[in-house]
C-alpha cells in the first residue's frame, strides 16, 4: 500500500470468479448454500472474489484457489464485512461494492473504515428521468444536473445524476442509515477531475450539520464514489485491478433467476 495514502482499491468482474467453490472457506460455503436466487449468489461470489484478491495482493498471498480459501470475508452482525486469514484477523479492513457485473474492494488499515468512518459505492451511468432527479436530489443538485445537461447533453445529465446518487449512497453508509433515509438529507458538491489519477473531490453536507469529504471517478459506464469523515487522499489502484473503463455492464442472472 502506498505510504501517501492508507487506502487502496481493486476491481474485477464476474469473469474473474474462480470455478467451483474450493476457493471459499467453510462458513462462506455454508452461507452460499442458503441462497436460492442467482442474482444474490452471483453478487456474493463477486464480492468475495474482489475482496479476497485485494487482501491476497496486500498480504502477498497466492491467488490460486487454495490461497484465496485462506482468506475469509465474513459479515459482522450489522452486515459490515471483515477479514480473516487462516482464522485470524489481519490489521486491515475492507469495504465492498458491486454493480452490474463489476465489483470494487477498498482496503485500508484497521480503524480506517470502522464505526462508519467511510462509505463506498459503485453505480453505472444509466438513464435517469426528470422525475428521479426532482424526487431524490436537492434543488442545488438539480441545478447542477441541468447545467451538465446543457454542457454535455444526455450523457452529462445521466453522468451527473448517477454521480450524485452514488455519492449520496456512500454518505448515507457513513451515517449508517443507508437508503432508509431521505436522500435529500445529504447534499453533494462534485468538483471537476483535475488529478492525473482520475479522481475528483467531493464535498458532502448533511442537514444534521455533519460535513464529509470524498472522492469520485468516472470510468466508462461506471462511476465510483467514496465518502469519509476523515480528510484522506484518494485510494491507489492495486496492481492487476481490472480496468473499469473497459467494463461492460452485465446482468447475467437474468438468464436463470433461480439457482
Q: Are residues 98 and 200 in the same domain?
A: no
Residue 256 lies in a domain: no
The domain in which residue 71 lies consists of 1-112+232-249
CATH of residue 241:
3.90.470.20
Is pLDDT at 223 greater than 80 in this prediction? Answer: yes
236 and 222 within one domain: no
Q: What value does the mean pLDDT take over residues 202-215?
A: 93
Residues 134 and 208 grouped into a single domain: yes
pTM of the model: 0.93
Q: Are 98 and 154 in a shared domain?
A: no
On whether residue 141 sits in a domain, the answer given is yes
Shared domain check, 106 and 6: yes
**Cα gap 118→259, rounded to integer Å:** 33
Average per-residue pLDDT for the chain: 92
Q: Is residue 258 part of a domain?
A: no
Judgement on whether residues 220 and 240 belong to the same structural domain of the protein? no
189 lies in the same domain as 135: yes
Cα–Cα distance, 214 to 191 (Å, whole number): 10
Give 24-50 pLDDT, tens digit per residue.
999 999 999 999 999 999 999 999 999
Mark whether 61 and 27 lie in a shared domain: yes
Encode pLDDT of 55-69 as tens digits: 999 999 999 999 999
Q: Are residues 54 and 19 in the same domain?
A: yes
Predicted pLDDT of residue 178:
66
pLDDT in tens, 104-119: 999 988 877 765 578 8
In a domain, 236, yes or no: yes
- Average pLDDT over every residue of 149-168: 97
Instruction: Provide the pLDDT for residue 2.
Output: 47
pLDDT at 193: 96
Are residues 140 and 81 part of one domain? Answer: no
Give the number of C-alpha atoms closer than 13 A to the C-alpha of residue 240, restricted to the C-beta side. 10
* Contact call for residues 92 and 7 (beta carbons, < 8 A): no
Regarding whether 103 and 48 lie in a shared domain, the answer is: yes
Compute the distance between CA of residue 181 and CA of residue 175 in angstroms, rounded to an integer. Answer: 10
Beta-carbon contacts of 112 under 8 Å, excluding residues fewer than 6 positions away, are 6, 7, 93, 118, 230, 232
How many domains does the chain contain in total?
2
In a domain, 120, yes or no: no
Residue 5's pLDDT band, with cuts at 50, 70 and 90, is low
In a domain, 87, yes or no: yes
Judge whether 91 lies within some domain: yes
With contact defined as beta carbons under 8 Å apart, do 122 and 130 qualify?
A: no
Q: In what order do the strands lie in the sheet with 102-109?
A: 92-99, 102-109, 8-13, 236-237
Let me know if residue 257 belongs to a domain: no
Say yes or no: 100 and 130 in one domain: no
Q: How many angstroms separate the Cα of 209 from the Cα of each of 73, 164, 181, 185, 204?
A: 34, 19, 15, 10, 10
**pLDDT category of residue 79 using cuts at 50, 70 and 90:** confident
Nearest to 193 by CA among 169, 165, 238, 223: 223
What does the alpha-carbon distance between residue 252 and residue 41 come to, in Å, rounded to a whole number? 11
Amino acid at each position: 500500500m502506498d505510504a501517501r495514502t492508507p487506502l487502496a482499491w481493486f476491481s474485477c468482474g464476474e469473469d474473474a470468479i474462480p470455478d467451483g467453490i474450493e476457493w471459499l472457506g467453510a462458513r462462506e460455503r455454508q452461507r452460499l448454500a442458503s441462497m436460492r436466487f442467482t442474482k444474490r449468489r452471483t453478487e456474493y461470489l463477486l464480492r468475495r472474489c474482489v475482496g479476497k484478491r485485494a487482501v491476497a495482493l496486500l498480504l502477498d498471498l497466492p491467488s490460486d484457489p487454495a490461497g484465496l480459501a485462506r482468506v475469509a470475508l465474513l459479515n459482522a452482525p450489522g452486515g459490515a464485512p471483515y477479514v480473516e486469514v487462516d482464522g485470524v484477523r489481519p490489521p486491515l479492513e475492507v469495504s465492498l461494492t458491486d454493480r452490474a457485473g463489476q465489483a470494487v474492494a477498498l482496503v485500508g488499515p484497521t480503524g480506517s473504515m470502522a464505526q462508519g468512518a467511510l462509505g463506498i459505492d459503485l453505480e453505472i451511468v444509466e438513464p435517469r428521468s426528470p422525475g428521479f432527479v426532482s424526487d431524490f436530489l436537492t434543488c442545488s443538485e438539480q441545478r447542477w444536473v441541468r447545467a451538465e445537461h446543457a454542457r454535455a447533453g444526455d450523457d452529462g445529465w445521466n453522468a451527473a445524476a448517477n454521480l450524485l446518487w452514488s455519492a449520496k449512497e456512500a454518505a448515507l453508509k457513513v451515517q449508517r442509515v443507508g437508503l432508509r433515509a431521505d436522500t435529500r438529507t445529504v447534499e453533494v458538491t462534485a468538483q471537476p477531475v483535475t488529478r492525473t489519477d482520475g479522481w475528483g473531490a467531493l464535498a458532502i453536507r448533511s442537514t444534521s450539520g455533519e460535513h464529509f469529504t470524498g472522492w469520485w471517478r468516472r470510468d466508462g459506464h461506471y462511476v465510483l464514489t467514496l465518502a469519509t469523515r476523515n480528510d484522506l487522499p484518494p485510494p491507489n489502484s492495486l496492481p492487476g485491478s481490472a480496468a473499469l473503463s473497459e467494463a461492460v455492464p452485465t446482468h447475467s442472472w437474468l438468464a436463470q433467476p433461480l439457482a
